């Protein structure tokens, strides 16, 4: 059994997926909180890989703390009903601050102030916009749009991190991705989109996915070998989820179209990561 749990496919895929499905089923009567399946799956990945510890504060442990904080913030935001403009600002600040915290050891070692300022600006823009886009702009959209975009973003960054020589960051990203797959599957098969208001994405989903994946991306650039320019195509993934589709399409078709379209910039990111890494042997 111990050998089985040490299998990377179990740690980053099968186990978090099963935990996410069980969490979704447990929340069927309160589906607006179904995004809690994501931190449940993420904690499963961490538990099976490094164990749940908070000291010393490494970059991956900071990501664990960030997803827990994002979960609490998402719950509070969803309960409070913050206005869209304020939600965008708060999400931007939260995503940017989280990434700066993870990047701080690298930033603190930079002796050139202009270089450090450029790094801070780049990190702030990337993490801030990815988080605010998901937590604010997409929060009012159907899960049929945001979940496929989240899946594409999670698998893009997870695979890219593995190519960039960080298996742990890769497993974390894939763990988020399979959790969103579980949410989408339960929504399509059981909740039935269009029959409940709860199929709206919600701030909880956006804050968890946006902050966690944007921080993971920054960590892959700073602590692994992912080139910074490989992240540029990922800006288009949340934007694609904003495309208005024909409401007459069946739910599975709407989700499938967004998934295919949002996967295209993701494939470009993976290619850029692969091209930068050279020959990669798994």
Question: Which residue has better confidence, 54 or 154?
Answer: 154
- Residues in Cβ contact with 269 at an 8 Å cutoff, skipping those fewer than 6 apart: 156, 157, 160, 230, 231, 232, 233, 234
What is the DSSP annotation of 33-70? GGGGHHHHHHHHHHHHHT-S---S--HHHHHHHHHHHH
Which one-letter DSSP state was computed for residue 96? H
With the C-alpha atoms ordered 228, 202, 60, 11, is the resulting torsion angle positive or negative? negative
Whole-model pTM: value is 0.89
Of 255, 196, 187, 183, the C-alpha closest to 36 is 183
Q: What is the pLDDT of residues 115-139, one digit of tens each?
A: 888 889 999 999 998 888 888 777 7
Q: What is the pLDDT of residues 220-262, one digit of tens each?
A: 999 888 898 999 999 888 888 887 777 777 877 888 888 899 9
Most confident stretch, 67-81, 84-98, 211-225: 211-225
Look over the chain and give the mean of its residue pLDDT values, rounded to a whole number.
84
Mean pLDDT is lowest, of 57-66, 79-88, 112-121, 206-215, for 79-88
Per-residue model confidence (pLDDT) at position 7: 67
Question: Across the chain, where does the E strand assignment appear?
Answer: none
Per-residue model confidence (pLDDT) at position 272: 92
Per-residue model confidence (pLDDT) at position 91: 86
Domain residue limits, the chain: 59-165+185-277
Q: Indicate whether 155 pLDDT > 70.
A: yes
Per-residue model confidence (pLDDT) at position 278: 62
pLDDT band for position 178 (cuts 50, 70, 90):
very high
Question: Which residue has better confidence, 25 or 88?
Answer: 25
């Amino acid at each position: 059994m111990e050998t089985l749990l040490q299998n990377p496919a179990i740690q980053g895929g099968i186990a978090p997926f099963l935990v996410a499905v069980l969490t979704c089923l447990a929340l069927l009567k309160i589906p607006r909180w179904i995004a809690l399946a994501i931190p449940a799956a993420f904690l499963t990945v961490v538990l099976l890989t490094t164990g749940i510890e908070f000291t010393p504060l490494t970059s991956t442990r900071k990501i664990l703390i960030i997803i827990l904080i994002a979960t609490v913030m998402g719950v509070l935001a969803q309960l409070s009903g913050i206005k869209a403009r304020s939600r965008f600002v708060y999400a931007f600040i939260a995503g940017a601050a989280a990434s700066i915290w993870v990047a701080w050891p690298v930033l603190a070692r930079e002796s050139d102030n202009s270089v450090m300022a450029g790094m801070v600006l780049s990190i702030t823009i990337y993490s801030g916009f990815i988080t605010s886009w998901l937590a604010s702009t997409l929060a009012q959209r159907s899960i049929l749009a945001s979940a496929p975009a989240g899946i594409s973003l999670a698998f893009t960054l997870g695979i890219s991190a593995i190519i960039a020589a960080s298996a742990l960051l890769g497993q974390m990203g894939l763990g988020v991705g399979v959790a969103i797959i579980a949410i989408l599957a339960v929504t399509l098969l059981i909740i039935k989109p269009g029959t409940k208001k709860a199929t709206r994405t919600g701030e909880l989903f956006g804050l968890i996915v946006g902050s966690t994946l944007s921080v993971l991306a920054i960590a892959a650039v700073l602590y692994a070998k992912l080139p910074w320019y490989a992240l540029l195509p990922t800006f288009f993934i949340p934007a694609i989820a904003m495309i208005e589709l024909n409401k007459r399409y069946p739910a599975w078709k709407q989700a499938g179209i967004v998934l295919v379209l949002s996967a295209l910039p993701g494939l470009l990111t993976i290619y850029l990561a692969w091209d930068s890494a050279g020959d990669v042997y798994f």
